[in-house]
Amino acid sequence: MAYYHRSSLLSVLFLLVALVCEARVLQSPGFVQTQNTQFVLDGSPFFFNGFNSYWMMNVAADPSQKNKISEVFGQATASRLSVCRTWAFNDGGNQALQISPGVYDERVFQGLDFVISEAKRYGVRLILSLSNNYKDFGGRPQYVNWAKSAGAPVNKDDDFYTSEVVKGYYKNHVKRVLTRINTITRVAYKDDPTIMAWELINEPRCQVDYSGKTLNGWIQEMATYVKSIDNKHLLTVGMEGFYGDSMPEKKAINPGYQVGTDFISNHLIKEIDFTTIHAYPDIWLSGKDDSSQMAFMQRWTMSHWTDSRTIIKKPMVFSEFGKSSKDPGYSLSARDSFLNAVYTNIYNFARNGGIGGGLVWQLMAEGMQSYDDGYEIVLSQTPSTSGLITQQSNKMIALDRV
């Protein structure tokens, strides 16, 4: 009997521990918000470590592949990653969400429903991007082609920002996504705190106007429109961080060129809640050695963190960074060293306020070689990288209590 009671008590103890662990994973019920230069959740500071997995909706649309979403979320939460950035668009082409303007594939939309419901189940918050600068998954080129086919006077990708027809298509997509009622959770996207934020467009660029002013007008219009439908969620632009003409002296921080954005003025728009930067020194400074690329990364992060805090006065997310296996002289240890340096920067800046966290590019499940871009990380196959990521997660989460 004594043994029975002991084993019963142990069983109860293990059950309680499991419930406590599960409770830690489950999301707090509130929406992530901002307060000055900090993210907050239910009144407390919210720091995070996160990841990109742009492919999730696309893969989830195939019932035989859905397990890959659960696998990545499971591995991510084991590494205490709590924010995921992914696409809420696929315009025209293969397995499109939006087949043509205003025409949607319900099967693909249900794939996105599944991604959101699984994120909730695993306690991960989502940053959902609404369009793309590039032709991948449709993006600006597809919108302009649709308008051209409809007889609108457009002829270049940059007409995306100024054509009334194209802007109408984009707004229709925004409304369709934000008002979507999830077929699994029965919660409208705009009412779901699983979603941390919306992103207007991934890496916007504008070749016809390097100053940032054309893009500024578009951001103002679209940000106002998003907030008119959904004022519960945070909103960001989706920028890489290139400086423009509003503060010319800042352009020296750019990697030698402009892309038509203005980090300062674009993020000062009232309806934009936080700033973002991306950094790919292996691409932007491809002719330079590792130490030069790392020095650039330090300057890039420091400058944007400072400007976010002191000029823009909004929190920052380092929402894309990585090192490609296609880089000359690549090794796993070189990638780990790069990630460790970025993570150290993020943590040190976060300790002083102004940055919420970073999102590595990108996590994948096993058996997804068709999506490989050189930057892919499969946590189960790279224990050294997985350990680095978990260590960063623990350090960022600890800041919640400081």
For residue 390 the two structure tokens come to 């978990």
Residues 6+ apart with CB under 8 A from 246: 212, 262, 264, 265
34 in Cβ contact with 274 (< 8 Å): yes
**203 in catalytic set:** yes
For residue 45 the two structure tokens come to 């500071």
Q: Which is catalytic among the residues 71, 199, 240, 320?
A: 320
Q: Which is catalytic among the residues 199, 203, 240, 376?
A: 203
Cα–Cα distance, 109 to 182 (Å, whole number):
9
**22 in catalytic set:** no
Select from 63, 147, 140, 152 the least CA-distant residue to 102.
147
Handedness of CA 184, 188, 190, 191 (dihedral sign): negative
Cα–Cα distance, 327 to 305 (Å, whole number):
27
Residues tagged active-site: 203, 320
